[in-house]
Amino acid sequence: MSRVLKKRLRAVGLWLLTFLLLVVICVPGLWVVLSAFRPNREILAKPPIWIPEELTLGNFAKIFGFGQEQVAIPVLSYFWNSLVIATTSTLIALIIGMAGGYAFARFRFRFKNAWFLGLMLFRTVPGIALSLPVFMLWSRLGIIDTQLGLIIVYVSLNVPFTIWLIDGFFRQIPMSLSEAAQVDGCTRWQAFWKIEFPLARSGIAAAGVFAFLTSWNEFALASQLTRSTDSKTLPVGLMDFTSQFTIDWAGMSAMAVIIIVPALILTFLVQKHLIAGLTFGGVKG
**Can you tell me which of 64, 115, 145, 179 binds another protein, judged by CB under 8 A?**
179
183 binds another protein (CB under 8 A): yes
Q: For CA atoms 68, 70, 74, 76, give the dihedral sign.
A: negative
281 binds another protein (CB under 8 A): yes
Comparison of 196 and 218: residue with beta carbon closer to another protein: 196
Comparison of 131 and 279: residue with beta carbon closer to another protein: 279
Stretch that binds another protein, among 32-40, 93-101, 158-166, 171-179 (CB under 8 A): 171-179
Comparing CA positions, the residue from 246, 251, 250 lying closest to residue 237 is 251
CA distances from 225 to 150, 205, 234, 259 (A): 7, 28, 14, 20
Q: Which of residues 238-277 bind another protein (CB under 8 A)?
A: none
Would you give the binding string for another protein spanning residues 185-214, x where CB under 8 A is met? xxx--x---xx--xx---------------
Comparing CA positions, the residue from 153, 224, 161 lying closest to residue 239 is 224
Comparison of 145 and 179: residue with beta carbon closer to another protein: 179
284 binds another protein (CB under 8 A): yes
Beta strands in 157-266 (DSSP E): none
Q: Please state the closest distance from residue 106 (CB atom) to another protein, in A.
A: 13
Cα end-to-end distance, the chain, whole Å = 51
177 binds another protein (CB under 8 A): yes
Residue 136: partners with Cβ closer than 8 Å, 6 or more residues away = none
Whole-angstrom distance, CA of residue 38 vs CA of residue 93: 39
**Can you tell me which of 54, 69, 184, 230 binds another protein, judged by CB under 8 A?**
184
Stretch that binds another protein, among 67-75, 98-106, 183-191, 234-242 (CB under 8 A): 183-191
CA distances from 124 to 9, 14, 211, 248, 281 (A): 45, 37, 16, 36, 36
Whole-angstrom distance, CA of residue 53 vs CA of residue 50: 9
283 binds another protein (CB under 8 A): yes
Comparison of 21 and 283: residue with beta carbon closer to another protein: 283
Q: Please state the closest distance from residue 279 (CB atom) to another protein, in A.
A: 5
Angle separating helix axes 197-217 and 147-172, nearest 10 degrees? 150
Residues lying near another protein in the complex (CB under 8 A) are found at 174, 176-177, 179-187, 190, 194-195, 198-199, 278-284
